[in-house]
Amino acid sequence: MNLSKRIQSVPPSTIMELLTFASKAKQQGKKVYHLNIGQPDIKTPDGFFKAIREYKGEILEYALSEGLSELIEAIKNYYKDYNLEFNNDDILITNGGSEALLFTILTICDEGDNILVPEPFYSNYFNFCKSVGVNINPITTLAENGFHLPIKEEIVSKIDSNTKAILFSNPGNPTGVVYTKAELDMIAEIAEEYNLWIIADEVYREFVYEGEYTSVGTIENIKDKVIIVDSVSKRYSACGARIGSLASKNKGFIKGILKLCQARLSVPTLEQLGAIELYKTDNSYLKEVNEEYRKRRDVLYNELIKVPGVVCKRPTGAFYIVAKLPVKNADHFTKWLLSDFDINGETVMPCPAEGFYQTEGLGVDEIRLAYILNTEDLSKAAVLLKEGLETYLALNK
């Protein structure tokens, strides 16, 4: 039986091969510190589990396709703290930010259309786009510039008659970049001039460690073009809840995407009840989590830049660092760390960054590190990485 050309164009996960290397290392008795995944280790607020335990219904019914109204109300109120003004009918609940992204692409693009995305980018953007016949026109950003956006002319040069939107995560996965107000104004200007949608993936909104955070949703004049993708996964360390949302002032967009929400019937009822409680979590939780990640970033970054030749600006958001290493091939370096290196039976696993780029040849010498371990383990992992890199460089002179 044949598979669709669309699904054949989606590349297999590159991480599987590396995980085999990690498994082998563990079988040999090595401890592997994983800096390769974005699964936070922070405790999910109790309210989530309590709401589910206390559910008294006797039938677990479908929830409304739009999402539970109490959850929508909670998200609307949460947005007020960020000066994002939405009405209840501007918001839809989705199965994670992932479904919000896929449904958005399906709603605004036809096959053969394209979307501008700053690269390196969250690799599932590529998978979602490819699987529905949509292309990405990458806007390359550089480690040397802290992955900030290039000038307007460079972005505009990537626009053609099939370009429908600009999509970005802010704060950024994998780069940790937080766009300045000026950069967002530039995006808004481009969207206005070229009549593009803006898909703002803000699932890491709370993870900003320095400076101001601006949501593109606060910029006047372009509000009917903005679609905000959101999620409880990272904010409340509730990745398994699979609760995300979409918000847009564009009535036509909401009406269109609602057809997809209705076709998939609903988002899990119990997890939505839990998510309502997440949004009631005291703000001190988010402050503490932010402080914890800031410490972790500093531990990892300060160790990493001790190695001569490493190019990396201190990232200001999310919980990732992309660093350019003085190696030819970061994939080879990662495999070497897992199979040939350890200090007292311990090693570390970064994620080669090539998979976050679409442009051939970019990112080959870069890694992404997720600082999702407690500071004690992270310090050990950071030292292992530094020592590993120095040893590898000495061996490969």
Ligand X SMILES: Cc1ncc(COP(=O)(O)O)c(C=O)c1O
Binding residues for ligand X (CB under 6 A): 38, 96-98, 122, 169, 173, 201, 203, 231, 233, 239, 244
Minimum distance, C-beta of residue 103 to ligand X, in the bound complex (Å): 12
Minimum distance, C-beta of residue 66 to ligand X, in the bound complex (Å): 18
Minimum distance, C-beta of residue 336 to ligand X, in the bound complex (Å): 27
Q: By C-beta, is 43 or 251 nearer to ligand X?
A: 43
Q: By C-beta, is 138 or 388 nearer to ligand X?
A: 138
Sheet holding 351-352, edge to edge: 320-324, 366-370, 351-352
Minimum distance, C-beta of residue 279 to ligand X, in the bound complex (Å): 15
388 phi and psi, to 5 degrees?
Answer: -60, -45
Q: What is the DSSP string of 60-113?
A: -PPPPTT--HHHHHHHHHHHHTTT----GGGEEEEEHHHHHHHHHHHHH--TT-
Q: By C-beta, is 16 or 394 nearer to ligand X?
A: 16
Distance CA 173, CA 167 (A): 12
Residue with tokens 């998978």: 127
Minimum distance, C-beta of residue 318 to ligand X, in the bound complex (Å): 8
Q: By C-beta, is 118 or 244 nearer to ligand X?
A: 244
Instruction: Enumerate the β-bridge partners of residue 197.
Output: 165
Minimum distance, C-beta of residue 353 to ligand X, in the bound complex (Å): 14
Minimum distance, C-beta of residue 172 to ligand X, in the bound complex (Å): 7
Distance CA 353, CA 350 (A): 9
Distance CA 61, CA 331 (A): 47
Residues 192, 185 contacting (CB under 8 angstroms):
no
DSSP state of 375: H
Q: N- to C-terminal Cα distance for the chain?
A: 50
Q: By C-beta, is 239 or 310 nearer to ligand X?
A: 239
Q: What is the 3-state secondary structure (H, E, C) of 124-177?
A: HHHHHHHHCCCEEEEEECCHHHCCCCCCHHHHHCCCCCCEEEEEEECCCCCCCC
Q: By C-beta, is 169 or 214 nearer to ligand X?
A: 169
Minimum distance, C-beta of residue 339 to ligand X, in the bound complex (Å): 27
Q: By C-beta, is 47 or 176 nearer to ligand X?
A: 176
Residues 344, 338 contacting (CB under 8 angstroms):
no
Residue with tokens 């806007």: 139
Q: By C-beta, is 231 or 266 nearer to ligand X?
A: 231
Residue nearest to ligand X (CB): 96
